[in-house]
A and B are shown apart, each in its own frame.
Chain A
Amino acid sequence: MRTFWQRFLGNPRVVAGLAWLGLVLLVALFAPLLAPVDPFEIAADPFLKPSAEHPFGTDSLGRSMWAGLVHGSRTTLIIAVVATLASVAFGTAVGAVAGYFGGLVDDVLMRLTEFFQTIPSFIFAIVLVAILAPSATSLVVAIAVVSWPPITRVVRGEVLSVRSREFVQAAVLAGQDDLAILFRQVLPNTLSPLIVTGSLLVATAILIESALSFLGLGAPNLMSWGFMVGAGRSFLRDAWWLVTIPGIAILLTVLSINLVGEGLNDALNPRLADL
C-alpha cells in the first residue's frame, strides 16, 4: 500500500493545484517587495494597456493593476482562511457536541443548524455585512456565519459513527470523562473528512469574499480581487484587462483549492479512488 504522501503528491492534479497555490502564497507573502506602493495610489494615466512598465496595465483611475493584484491576494487569502478557520472551529464544536451527546442536545443543535441552512447563504452574508458595516472583520464574520452548517453536519455524522465503536466504550470503562473522550478518542478519528471539507470551504470563502467586494461591500481601504472586478466591470468592452485578469486569478485559485481538496479526499480514502 502506498503511503498518504505518495498517493497525494503522485496525483498530477494535486501538483498543478499546489503549484498555483504556492505561487499565490509567495506573492501574498512578499507583496510589499513585489509592489512597494499603495495599490490605491495613482501610478500613471488611466486605461494603459499591459506593457513592460505596467505589466497588467492601469485601471480607470490610473492605479497599477499589478499592485492591485499583488496586494489583493493578501486580502483575499487572509479573509478566506480566517473565515474558514472560524467556521471550522465553530462548526466542529457544535457538530461534536450534537453527535456525542445525542438526544435533546442533538435535536436542539441540529434544528438550529438547519435554521441557518435554510437562509440563502449569499443574501444572508449581504445582510450581515450591511448590518455590521463593511470591514475586514465583518467580512470574516459574515462568511463564517454562513458557512459553518455543512461542517457541523459532517462532524456530527462522523462523531455519531465513531462514538458507537468499541474503543470509545473501552475509554468509558477506563473511567475517562466525556470531554476527554470527545477530544482524545473521537475527534482525532473524524479528521480526514473534516480536512477535506475545510479545504474546500476555503474556495467557497474566496468566492463569497470576491462577490461581496464586487458589490462594493468589501473592506474599504483594502484592495481585493473581487473589488477590482467590480470596479472594472463598466469598462469591459474598452479595457478588457480590468475585469479579466483579477477574474482569472480568482478562477485559478478556486480551481486549485478544489483540485487539492479532491486530491486530499482521494488520498485519505484510497479505496474509493482505486475502485
Chain B
Amino acid sequence: MSEPVLSIEELRVALPSWSDRELAVDGVSLSIRRNEILCVVGESGSGKSVMAKAVLGLLPAPHVRVTGGRIVFEGQDLVGASEDQMRAVRGERISMIFQEPMVALNPLMKVGRQIDEVFQIHTDFTAQQRHDRVVDLFADVHLPEPDRIVGSYPHELSGGQRQRVMIAMALALEPSLIIADEPTTALDVTTQAQILTLMKELQGKHGTAVLFITHDFGVVAEIADRVVVMRQGRLVEAGDTQALLRAPQQDYTRALVAAVPSLHPRHAVNEEPPAPVLQLKGLVKTYGGRASLFGGHSRTVRAVREVSLEVPRGHSLALVGESGSGKSTLARCVVGLESPDGGQILLDGEDIAGLTRKQLKPYRHLVQMVFQDPFASLNPRQRVGDIIALGPRLRGVRRDEAWEKARELLGLVGLQPDAASRYPHEFSGGQRQRIGIARALAVEPKLILADEPVSALDVSVQKQVLDLLDELRQRLHLSMLFITHDLRVAAHVCEDIVVMREGEIVERGSTREIFANPRHEYTRQLLDSVPGKQWDH
C-alpha cells in the first residue's frame, strides 16, 4: 500500500462565537492515496466544504480557523504553514475545481489566457510552449476545436465546456491532489454524466488523488473508490464504495442511502385514465422581439413550440427536461404567470389562455404552485400564518377563519400548528417547503404544479417532501404536474412522463413503459445519464 498523498488527522475547525455550533469540523481523520477518488458525502452544514478549504488554507480567517489536528500533505504539515508555503502548494501541488465555473473563471479574460497565466507564474516555459500545453490540455479534456476555444471568453462556452476548462486548469501543473467541490451540481444530467466520465478517465491517466465533495449518492456510486460520510462536522462512516453503499453500518448512512429515490417506478396505471383536469393544445410561447424605448431588438427564443399534453384527474404527470427545455416556461403559462402566444390551456374544460389577470381571478384557486426555492418563495417579513392565509383571505374568508385553516394545514403537512405565528427564517429548508405546500393547498386547488420542489433540498429531506406530496395527492384526490430534471424523482411520484427538449415533447407515456423501454434516443440518453443507475437499490 502506497504512502497517502494527503492525510488529515483529528482536524478541528472552529466557527465564530455567534454561530449555532462551536466546531465546523470536529475531529475528522481521513487519508487519500495516489490514484484514488475519495468522496466526502454530507448534507448542507456537514462541514465538508469547510474541511476542503482548511486543506487549501482558504478559511475566512480570523473568524473560522483550524484549532487542532494535522493536515499532512506529501509529508508537510499544512496547519501552521506560512502564506508563502501555502501559495507554493496551492495550484502547483493541490488544485481545486469549484461548483460554479462561471464564477470561478474571470469573465473578462479569454480562457486560454487564464491557463496560460498559471504556467507563466509556476514554470519558465516560453510563450510557444505554454500555448502548446494549453491546446494539449484542452484536447485532453475533450473540448471541441481546442485551437478556437483557447481564444474564447467564458460566456461564449456552455456550462459543461466551462467545467472542462476548469478541469484543464486544475490539471495544468500535474498536481498530486485535486479537490473538487460539487463540480457537477450546477450542470444538467447529461452534462454531469460526461464530466464524471471525463474526471474518472483523466484521474486514471495521471494517477492523481481526488477529494470529491458531493451530496449525491448517485454521483458517489458513479465515481468514488472510497467514501467518507460526514454529519455536523463529524465523521460518521468511511469505507469502500461498494461495501458502504450495499451495507451501510451506521443509521445515518442507512437513512441517507435509503433517501435516494429508486429508479423503479412506483405507480402503475391500470384502468383507463379518467377525464383530464388540465389539457394543453398546441401551446406556443416565444420570448423576445420586443424593442425598448431606445432601440435594440432582442433575440427571439421559441421557448415552447406547439406543446399538447393532458393531466388526467387524480394523476401525477412528470414533465422531464434539462435547462432550456421550456418546461418552466410551460409551467408559468399554465398557472397564468406568463401569457402564451398561441394554443389553448383547458382547465376543467375552460380555456384560460390569453386571459388578463383580472379575468384569471376566478380560476386562480384551481391551480396552485409549489416553488423550487424554499428560501425565496416565502416572504421573510410575514408570519407563516399570514402567508398561508393570503389566498383564502383574498377569496373573502375572515382573518381568524383563514388562520384557523392555516393551522390545520400546517398540521396536515407535518408541522406544529403554532408554526403559524412564527417567521419563515425560523424554519429549515425542508420545513419551509412544507409551508409552501400548505400555502398551495389553502385554496383547495384541483391541480398542483410543482416546479422542481425538492431540487434545492438536502437528500434526506427530499424524499420526505416527495412522500408528503404523494400522500397528499392521494388523500385529497389532487392532480399534479411535476416539473423536474431528475428521473429518480419522476419515478418516485408520477404515473406518467412527458420528456421535453428545446420546447418540444420528444416522448410521452406511462413511467413504467418509458423506464422499461425508452423509444426516443434523447430519453435513452437521459436514462443513461442518471448517476449511479447500476447501483440502484
Contact = CB atoms under 8 A, between A and B. Distances in A.
Q: Name B's interface SS.
A: loop
A272 interface: no
Interface string B357-373: 10001001101110111
A173 B337 contact: yes
Contact of A167 (B60, B335, B361, B377): B377
Interface string B479-504: 00000000000000000000000000
A196 B67 CA distance: 38
Nearest to B293: A107
B294, B367, B387, B390: most-surrounded residue (chain A CB, <10 A)? B390
Interface in B376-426: 376-382, 387, 390-391, 394-395
B63 interface: yes
Contact of A174 (B60, B364, B377): B364
A174 B372 contact: no
Contact of B394 (A107, A174, A185, A274): A174
B18 A275 contact: no
Contacts of A166: 371-373, 376-377
B57 interface: no
Contacts of B365: 175
A188 B365 CA distance: 26
Contact of A165 (B16, B294, B376, B439): B376
A173 B60 contact: no
Contacts of A177: 357
A169 B394 contact: no
A185 to B, nearest CB: 6
Contacts of A172: 336-337, 357
B18 A1 contact: yes
A176 B394 contact: yes
Contacts of B436: 170
Contacts of A2: 18
Interface in A136-176: 165-167, 169-176
B292 A173 contact: no
Q: Name A's interface SS.
A: helix
A104 B293 CA distance: 7
Contacts of A234: none
A269 interface: no
Given A173-B335, A174-B394, A185 B361 contact: no
Contacts of A1: 18-19
A170 B63 contact: no
B443 interface: yes
A193 to B, nearest CB: 14
Interface string A164-207: 01110111111111000000110011000000000000000000
Contact of B376 (A167, A185, A275): A167
A174 B376 contact: no
A51 B261 CA distance: 86
B329 to A, nearest CB: 13
A175 B373 contact: no
Interface string A90-122: 000000000000001001100100000000000
A164 B377 CA distance: 10
Interface of A: 1-2, 104, 107-108, 111, 165-167, 169-177, 184-185, 188-189, 274-275
21 contacts: A108-B293, A166-B372, A166-B373, A167-B376, A167-B379, A169-B369, A170-B371, A170-B436, A171-B390, A173-B367, A174-B364, A174-B390, A175-B391, A175-B394, A175-B395, A176-B394, A177-B357, A188-B381, A189-B379, A189-B380, A275-B60
Which 6 A-B residue pairings sit nearest by Cβ, starting from the closest?
A: A166-B377, A107-B293, A174-B391, A166-B371, A188-B381, A167-B379
